[in-house]
C-alpha cells in the first residue's frame, strides 16, 4: 500500500516542517521527553502532511491515530498524545539526519518518501512508526554518509 500521494514539486510547502524539525532537534533529550509527555502541537500534523504530501490515512497510520481523531486534533488545535508525539519526534530526528547526509532538504524529503530496497522496499518515512524501523533508516543513512553498503 503506498504511503504517499506525492507531487514532484515540493516548493516551499515543506519549509515549516523543516524549521520545526530543526528546532526540535536542538532541544536536549530531557526537553524533548517533556514535550513528548505534554504532547506536541497539532500544527506538527499539518507540517508533516504538507512536507511529505501525505494523504490523511497515511499520516494517521504514521502517528497511530484514527483519521477522525487526527482531523479533530488538527481542527481543534488539540495537542497530540505521547505516542503520536514520540513518532513525530522520531521522524524529525531522522529527517534532520537525512538532510545532513544529502545536504539538501528536497533530496532528503524525496529520499524519506521513496521506497528503498535496502529497507525491504518500504519508505524510510513509514519505518519511523517504530524505533526499530527508525534504527534501520539510521543504519542506511550512515552507510550512505560513509559510502558503504547498507
Nearest alpha-carbon partner for 40 in 76, 87, 75: 87
pLDDT tens for the chain, 150 residues long, are 333 333 333 344 567 999 999 999 999 999 999 999 999 999 999 999 999 999 999 999 999 999 999 999 999 999 999 999 999 999 999 999 999 999 999 999 999 999 999 999 999 999 999 999 999 999 999 999 888 655
Q: What is the pLDDT of residue 46?
A: 95
Provide the CB-side half-sphere exposure for 129 (13 A, CA): 13
Rounded Cα gap, residues 111 and 42, in angstroms: 25
Find out whether 3 and 54 touch, Cβ atoms under 8 Å.
yes
Q: Residue 104: which H helix or E strand, with range?
A: none
CA 2 to chain centre: 16
Domain ranges of the chain: 15-145
Amino acid at each position: 500500500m503506498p504511503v504517499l500521494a506525492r507531487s514532484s514539486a515540493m516548493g516551499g510547502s515543506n519549509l515549516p516542517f523543516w524549521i520545526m524539525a530543526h528546532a526540535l532537534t536542538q532541544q536536549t533529550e530531557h526537553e524533548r521527553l517533556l514535550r513528548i509527555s505534554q504532547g506536541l502541537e497539532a500544527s506538527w500534523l499539518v507540517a508533516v502532511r504538507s512536507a511529505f504530501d501525505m494523504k490523511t490515512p497515511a499520516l494517521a497510520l504514521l502517528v497511530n491515530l484514527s483519521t477522525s481523531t487526527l482531523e479533530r486534533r488538527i481542527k481543534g488545535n488539540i495537542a497530540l498524545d505521547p505516542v503520536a508525539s514520540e513518532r513525530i519526534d522520531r521522524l524529525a530526528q531522522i529527517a534532520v539526519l537525512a538532510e545532513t547526509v544529502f545536504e539538501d532538504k528536497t533530496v532528503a524529503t524525496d529520499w524519506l518518501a521513496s521506497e528503498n530496497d535496502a529497507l525491504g522496499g518500504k519508505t524510510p518515512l513509514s519505518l519511523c512508526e517504530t524505533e526499530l524501523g527508525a534504527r534501520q533508516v539510521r543504519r542506511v543513512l550512515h552507510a550512505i554518509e560513509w559510502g558503504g553498503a547498507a
